[in-house]
Structure 1
Amino acid sequence: MSTAEEINTLLVANFGTDPRAIRPEMALRQLSLDSLALEELRLLIEERLGIDLDDVPLTSRDTVAELVAVVHRKAAA
């Protein structure tokens, strides 16, 4: 499963996001993710992919594509 697919799966399963609504150019806030949800998403990604995102500043203004890119870089490191 690709990084984008992993993140999409987490968004759908844990936050009730409509899979058709997830597009790379969308800001995370457009998916109704507030700061608490972003922290929960960070923890879910870390657990699922076995990576550490503590040094990654994640905001609701980030796009899905930006999140995928940073997670992909961390997973490849």
Structure 2
Amino acid sequence: MPYSSKSELPDSVKDNLPSHAQDIYKEAYNSAYEEYKDPDDRKGDASREETAHKVAWSAVKQAYHKVDGDWKKK
């Protein structure tokens, strides 16, 4: 289910990512959730939510990287 605010994001996102990265995650997740609603558009047996989370993390990793356990902007 899409997220309407950052406060709804999973703890693994809220507790680790800076605010801007959370914005990226939320927008990418919501977009992918809509884009991959058809199971034929997803790889293997991945659920709609699983696919959206993978896309969201990928989007974050394009702008941020982990340094000594903390996410830093590239």
TM tier relative to shorter chain: 0.3 to 0.5
**Higher helix proportion, which one?**
1
Determine which structure has greater relative contact order: mean sequence separation of CA pairs < 8 Å that are 6+ residues apart, divided by chain length: 1
TM-score, length basis structure 1: 0.34
